[in-house]
Chains A and B, each alone.
Chain A
Amino acid sequence: GAGVSQTPSNKVTEKGKYVELRCDPISGHTALYWYRQSLGQGPEFLIYFQGTGAADDSGLPNDRFFAVRPEGSVSTLKIQRTERGDSAVYLCASSSTRAGGHEQFFGPGTRLTVL
Chain B
Amino acid sequence: AQSVTQPDIHITVSEGASLELRCNYSYGATPYLFWYVQSPGQGLQLLLKYFSGDTLVQGIKGFEAEFKRSQSSFNLRKPSVHWSDAAEYFCAVGPLGGNMLTFGGGTRLMVKP
Contacts and interface: CB of A to CB of B under 8 A. Distances in A.
Interface of A: 3-4, 31, 33, 35, 40-45, 48, 50, 55-56, 58-59, 91, 93, 98-101, 103-109
A105 B43 CA distance: 9
Nearest to A50: B99
A41 B105 contact: yes
A107 B103 contact: no
Contacts of A3: 43
B28 interface: no
Contacts of B43: 3-4, 91, 106-109
Given A91-B44, A107-B43, A109-B43, A99 B103 contact: no
Interface stretch (B14-22, B65-73, B77-85, B89-97): B89-97
A41 B38 CA distance: 12
Nearest to A104: B101
B18 to A, nearest CB: 24
A37 B45 CA distance: 15
Given A103-B49, A107-B43, A108-B41, A45 B102 contact: yes
Contact of B98 (A41, A91, A99): A99
Contacts of B102: 45
B32 interface: yes
A99 B101 contact: yes
Interface of B: 4, 6, 32, 34, 36, 41-46, 49, 51, 90, 92, 94-106
A4 B42 CA distance: 12
Nearest to A58: B100
B94 A41 contact: no
A103 B103 CA distance: 14
Contacts of A108: 41-43
Interface-central residue, B36, B97, B101, B103, by most chain A CB under 10 Å: B101
B52 to A, nearest CB: 10
Given A41-B106, A42-B104, A42-B106, A99 B42 contact: no
Given A42-B103, A42-B104, A101 B46 contact: no
A109 B38 CA distance: 11
